[in-house]
Amino acid sequence: MDKLKINIGNLHLKNPVMTASGTFGYGKEYSDFMDLGRIGGVFVKGTTIRERQGNDYPRMAETPSGMLNAVGLQNKGVDYFVSNIYPEIKDFDTNIIVNVSGSTIEDYVECSQKLVALEKIPAIELNISCPNVKEGGMAFGTSACSAADVTKAVREVWNKTLIVKLSPNVTDITEIAKAVEGEGADAVSLINTLLGMAVDINKRRPVLSTVTGGLSGPCVKPIALRMVWQTYNAVKIPVIGMGGISSWQDAIEFILAGSSAIQIGTHNFIDPTISVKVVDGIKEYLDKNNINSITDLIGALQV
């Protein structure tokens, strides 16, 4: 399948299909359902410098054509990941990419420093949708300056592929993308979840314990496509697209809009084998249309 190969910085992918952080555990949870070696990479769940219990229940809610989540980055911390989880997943025949989260720039830097020595972790993804406690709780990713600052600080300690995951909860996502590109990001991934809420009319209360949560699923796809297309036309670094992808046709749409690779998120909960089906669908599309390389499709949208 050489025609499916793609590079994101120094990250070499056998194909452009990967799984999104927070929807695929650490990969091992899905290994009974599919051969992980058939996909380009796995973005493991959000990892923080210290253990986090996550938010109170209820923290998930179904919505029309999607879902809301307010899990709150529940994980056992980076030291536990290094000691207990990494040894179990490091030999999977795919790229293992760690999603790094934090509440301060120092958190991101310290977490990244603990991961950089791990030979089988070729890249990290900075989740800048986290609240910056030193800036009154505003997410790093909603300010170009804040996004640039955290990218610059991590770039100084991380010498492998650096991907920055962008928040869609902004006026102009291209300004954030250009800011992180300017500070050394090798790629951007988008979109993270949109801010939403659900209401229980019988209790007259919000469904989620946190009132608001992150909206994902097919309902966000048109917004994600628009933001991917805008970002592709604004930066020179690769774009990794995600947001409501549930078929190979969806993946092709994102690639045409400018994605060098894609991540599948919410649909993993519906069909745990969806990623390999998308790989096969893309391959068949290329064969049927006599396209020699997936790179010929990137940004090929005719506007």
Q: Residue 134's pLDDT is what?
A: 72
Residue 153 assigned ligand-binding role: no
Distance from chain centroid for Cα 284? 25
pLDDT band at residue 1 under the 50/70/90 scheme:
low
* CATH value at residue 10: 3.20.20.70
Question: What does the radius of gyration of the chain's CA atoms come to, in whole angstroms?
Answer: 18
Confirm whether 303 is domain-assigned. Answer: no
Residue 7 assigned ligand-binding role: no
pTM: 0.97
* Mean pLDDT score across all residues of the chain: 96
Give residue-wise pLDDT tens across range 197-233.
999 999 999 999 999 999 999 999 999 999 999 999 9
CA distance 249 to 231: 21
Residue 142 assigned ligand-binding role: no
Confirm whether 227 is domain-assigned. Answer: yes
Confirm whether 156 is domain-assigned. Answer: yes
Give residue-wise pLDDT tens across range 242-292.
999 999 999 999 999 999 999 999 999 999 999 999 999 999 999 999 999
Question: Would the pLDDT of 133 be above 70?
Answer: no
Confirm whether 205 is domain-assigned. Answer: no
Could you tell me whether strands 239-241 and 212-216 are parallel, antiparallel, or unpaired per DSSP bridges? unpaired
Confirm whether 256 is domain-assigned. Answer: yes
Confirm whether 75 is domain-assigned. Answer: yes
Residue 45 assigned ligand-binding role: yes
Which residue segment(s) compose the domain that 80 sits in? 6-54+70-195+215-297
Residue 165 assigned ligand-binding role: yes
Q: Residue 204's pLDDT is what?
A: 98
CA distance 149 to 286: 40
145 given a catalytic annotation: no
Cβ atoms of 10 and 161 closer than 8 Å: yes
CA distance 185 to 52: 27
Confirm whether 59 is domain-assigned. Answer: no
Residue 82 assigned ligand-binding role: no
Confirm whether 240 is domain-assigned. Answer: yes
Task: Select which of 111, 130, 145, 219 is catalytic.
Answer: 130
Structural domain total, the chain: 1
